[in-house]
Amino acid sequence: MDSTAVLERLKELHKEIELDAGKDPALVGDDVQPIGGLGGFDSPLIPTVVRGLAKAMGIVLDKDARLRNPYVDGNGKKLSLKAVADRFCELYGKEKKR
Q: Rounded to the nearest 10 degrees, how much is the dihedral formed by the CA atoms of 84, 90, 92, 98?
A: 110
**First-residue to last-residue Cα distance in the chain:** 13
CA distance 68 to 8: 20
CA distance 25 to 18: 5
Q: What is the pLDDT of residue 76?
A: 92
- The domains of the chain, with CATH numbers, are 3-92 (1.10.1200)
Q: What is the pLDDT of residue 1?
A: 82
Task: Name the 3-class secondary structure at 7.
Answer: helix
Mean pLDDT of the chain: 93
Let me know: does 38 contact 18? Beta carbons within 8 Å: yes
For the stretch 33-49, pLDDT in tens is 999 999 999 999 999 99
Which residues does residue 86 pair with via DSSP β-bridges, in sequence order?
A: none
What is the pLDDT averaged over residues 20-36? Answer: 96
